[in-house]
Every structure is written in C-alpha cells, then in structure tokens.
Structure 1
Amino acid sequence: MEHASEHAVGRAVEYAKLFRLDGRRVAVVGGAGGIGREVVCALAAHGAEVIVADLDAAGAAAAAEAAAAEPSAPGSRTGTATACPLDVLDEDAVRAAADRWGALDGLVVTAGVNVRKRITDYTAAEFDRVLALNLRAAFTLVRAVAPAMAERGRGSVVGLASMRAFQVEPGQSAYAASKAGLVQFLRTAAAEWGPRGVRFNAIAPGVVRTPLTDQIAADPQWYDAYAQASALRRWARADEIAGAAVYLVSDASTFVTGSVLTVDGGWTAVDGRFEPTL
C-alpha cells in the first residue's frame, strides 16, 4: 500500500490531453497513401508536426495538404505536415533525412510491399524486395533516429506489422516472414533502448482496403472470404488503423513497449471458417 500511495501522489495526469501531440515532431515513413496517409491526418489532427516521408513525392505532398485541412478538436489546434521525398532503401538518404528532421518524438513506419506467390514461384529478386522494404528499411530508420531519441530520454517508434506475422496462408511466405521479423526486431529494440526511455511497438492490422490489397479486392470470392473470416465480418478501412498509431505515439501509452497491438477485427481471435450450431 505504501508504494501505491507514493504512485498516487506522483505527477498529476491531465487525462483530457492524454492523446494530444501538440509541439511533437513525428515522421511517418510511407505516408503518401493507404494507412500511412490516414496516420498522417490523425497525428496532425492531434496537434503533431508531421513529416510525411515517401518515395512518392507528389503523394507525400498531397497527404501533407490533406492533413493541414483536417479539423482538430474544439479548442485545440491542428498540427502541421511537411512532405519529405525519401527512398528508405537508400541508407545515405535516410541518414541525411534524419539529420534534417532533428530529434523526433515519434516515428511511424508504414512502408511495405507484398508479392503473393507460392514459394516455388518466387524469384530471389522478389524475395529480396519484400524483405528490404518490410524489414531492412525499419532497421535503417531505427538506427538513424533512435540514438537522438535516447539522448533526450524519450521517443516512440511504431512499425506496421500484420496479422500475417502470426497466422499465414499459401502465397504469403516472404511477407509473413518479413512481418514476423519486424515484430521481433522492434521487441529487441525495445529491450535495448528501454532503459533510455525510447519505446518500440508494432501494429498488426488484418485485411485493410488499400492499394496493397487490390489483387484480393479484384476477386469477389476472395474478397468475400476475407470479409467473413473476422469476428466483425468485414474488411477494415485504412482510417481504422490510424487511432492505434496515435495511441502508441501519445502519452496514453507511456508504459507500453515491446508490444503488438492487433487491429484485425477479431480475425486471429476466432476461427472464421466455420460457425458450429450449438
């Protein structure tokens, strides 16, 4: 009870501001479209100064413009968003960008790619491309920004993993491996930088309607099968993933690190292929 009392009389928490990001600088890598664009808008709506980094310069600029137009809560201000063209597979470019950004309060890595083929049909070049963008890019980005966060004693890094890090299907070999690797990489980073106040977490979405899932959406049977597999019996919208990123960057999650936040509509919690009569 003594320890509980000591904690209770510690610093006061302003719960109304728990998710606010006013004055905080957050880079969203892969922010030009899909989930990344929605994360940019959500962070800006909560007051963050967002850097929209993407190889697609025009898309990054459009996302920054959309974020600037995003309304904030009554009595609060909308943050800012600035486009930053960036090739995350160019290590020198990443280091130079990190130097320009200065010390970040948050980094959200949403860049990713998938090539759906059975293992025997995969080429080595395709395998390397998936692993490079989904895993090595995070390695490069973390090495570029985490030391400065550690010097300040704070920071939050969020990586977009996938439910495929835990549950697979034919045709997902390289993608699933890269996302499982990302989860373990972020957990290791959490262990290494935790003593210096830097947090690392992953978000694991289920099926989300973005350009990355165009191949599935084009097949009505495939689309419907995926919709019926989760507890909510539908696909996610990209904006439904953005709140998880805001949470993990904000002070609402200051004791959350080394974790995976699953946002999959209950897919991994249920067996959606058969519903028995009870």
Structure 2
Amino acid sequence: MDYTQLFQFSGRRVLVIGAGSGIGRESALALHAHGATVICADRDAPSAAATAAQLGAGASALQLDVLNQEAVRAVARDLTDLAALVFTAATNVRKRIADYTLDEFDRVVNLNLRAAFVLIQAFAPTMAANGGGSIIGFASIRAVTVEPGQGVYAATKAGLVQLLRTAAAEYGPAGVRVNAISPGVVETPLTAQIKNDPEWYNAYAAKSALGRWSTPSELAGAVVYLASDASRFVTGSVLTVDGGWTAVDGRFDPPNA
C-alpha cells in the first residue's frame, strides 16, 4: 500500500453541488488542491463560475437547481464517470412549530431532504454501474440535538442521515460509499440570523469544547477524507465536525474540587 496516495485525486472527477459559496466552495478548493478535476455546481451560475475560475485549469462550472428533478437527472446522464459527489445545499426557517406555515415546511423539507433523495436516485446507480464512488451529504448536529425553533430543520437532517445510511446499504455491494458530515455551528449565510445577534452568537460559541464557531474551511478536510481512498472502508457513517458540541453537556462548569 502506497500511503502517499491516500488523498490523491489525479485523474478523478468530482461534482460539488453548492460550490458557489460557504462549505461547498471550500470543499471544491480542497479537492482541487489534491488533484481532483472539480465540477462546481450551484443554483447561482455566476457564483459557480467564480469558484471554478478561482480553481483554475481543469475546473468547470454549471448551473443546477437541485429542486428540479429533470435537471438533476440530465446532469447525472452527462457525468457518468464521477469519483465523488458532494452536496451542501440546505435552508432553515427558525420558527417554533406552532408558528410554521406549510409553505415554510415544504421549503425546508424540499431542499434539505427531497433534493438529497433526487440526487442519490440520479447519481448512485451510475456510480454503481461504473464500479463505485463516494457520495457525501451534509447533515447537522441538529439531527441528534435540538433547541426550540429548529424542529423542521432537525427533522430533515435526521431524515437525511437515515436516507444516506440506507443508500450505503443498497449501493455498498456495488462499491458506492455513502456518508454524512455533521457540522456544528459554521459561519455561513445560513447562520446570518444568529451571527447578527451577539448574545445568540456568543452562546453558541460557548457551547462547543473549543469555545468558538467553525469556518467553512474547517469542514473541507472531512470532505477530502470521505471522498478519498483514505476512507475506502467507511460507509453509512456520520462524521461529526462540531468542535465538541455534542460531546459537552455545557450547562454548568463545576468548580475545581
């Protein structure tokens, strides 16, 4: 075994959906840095193009709305040689259950869960036919720990974890690995509402063992690992990257004995 090649992607094509900003962009940058030929996809075409331009030679961009099933299927038909698929797109409406409208419910469920189902359904069979590949979706610590106002988002992320695990079971015999990354609080546009409230922001920072939020770049290593040969026997797993949030009780710091 040549361990120097564990994280090398030379000659491999990777599709990153949500590459126009945040975690998706950093994932694209990290995969490109390890030799992957990265296809940067996003609903916002100029943002996808900007990321591809930042990567330089070999990278490309495409506009893709994951809520459009036919568009997803068309891209899957064109990209038949992918080594890995990474998708990061998500949304949240922070409201208590009684205040939610069904339109808001549908908006969160459709992007966070339905779109993931459509992507897996479109890309996994082709990967299986080609001998394997890696599919990586982004869940959240909210799949296992919640707070008021996170009900629908948490439900979609818990559902996503189980969807990815089921896909791992169904496509594992064909060499397709399917895993989830579970971030804690990350400074992205999705968390702008919290960042704009100092009390809320600081409370979240204090909750993790590291005492701070993460940046999108700190999720990129997990993506590279799960897409690479270093994780060849990892599937159906949830890789938690939360600064210790789910490990720490956090309600009281007892004095020294």
TM range (shorter): over 0.9
Contact 1:114/1:175 (<8 A) preserved:
yes
Partner of 2:178: 200
Given candidates 145, 152, 158, the residue that maps to 1:180 is 158
Partner of 2:5: 17
Partner of 1:55: 43
Structure 1 residue 81: Cα displacement: 1.9
Given candidates 48, 57, 68, the residue that maps to 1:90 is 68
Contact 1:47/1:80 (<8 A) preserved:
no
Aligned pairs, number: 256
Q: Secondary structure at the match of 2:59?
A: strand
Structure 1 residue 80: Cα displacement: 2.9
Structure 2: unaligned runs, 5 residues or longer: none
Q: Does 1:116 align with 2:94?
A: yes
Q: For residue 119 of structure 1, what is the amino acid of its counterpart?
A: I
Q: For residue 130 of structure 2, what is the amino acid of its counterpart?
A: R
Q: How far apart in 2 are the matches of 1:24 and 1:145?
A: 16
Contact 1:203/1:244 (<8 A) preserved:
yes
Partner of 1:275: 253
Per the normalisation by structure 1, the TM-score is 0.90
**RMSD of aligned residue pairs (Cα, Å):** 0.9
1:31-42 matched pairs, under 5 angstroms: 31-42=19-30
Structure 1 residue 106: Cα displacement: 0.4
Contact 1:42/1:242 (<8 A) preserved:
yes
Q: How far apart in 2 are the matches of 1:81 and 1:244?
A: 21
Partner of 2:204: 226
Q: How far apart in 1 are the matches of 2:220 and 2:93?
A: 24
Structure 1 residue 103: Cα displacement: 2.4
Partner of 1:136: 114
Q: For residue 188 of structure 1, what is the amino acid of its counterpart?
A: T
The farther-off stretch of 251-260 and 267-276 is 267-276
Q: How far apart in 1 are the matches of 2:10 and 2:215?
A: 26
Per the normalisation by structure 2, the TM-score is 0.98
Structure 1 residue 148: Cα displacement: 1.1
Q: For residue 33 of structure 1, what is the amino acid of its counterpart?
A: S
Stretches of 4+ aligned residues off by more than 4 angstroms: none
Q: Secondary structure at the match of 1:169?
A: coil
Q: For residue 263 of structure 1, what is the amino acid of its counterpart?
A: V
In our comparison, the structure showing a higher alpha carbon Rg is: 1
Q: Deviations over 1:206-263 (max 9, x none)?
A: 0000111000000000000000000000000100001100000000000000000000
Q: Deviations over 1:38-70 (max 9, x none)?
A: 0010011111111111110011011111222xx
Structure 1: unaligned runs, 5 residues or longer: 1-12, 69-78
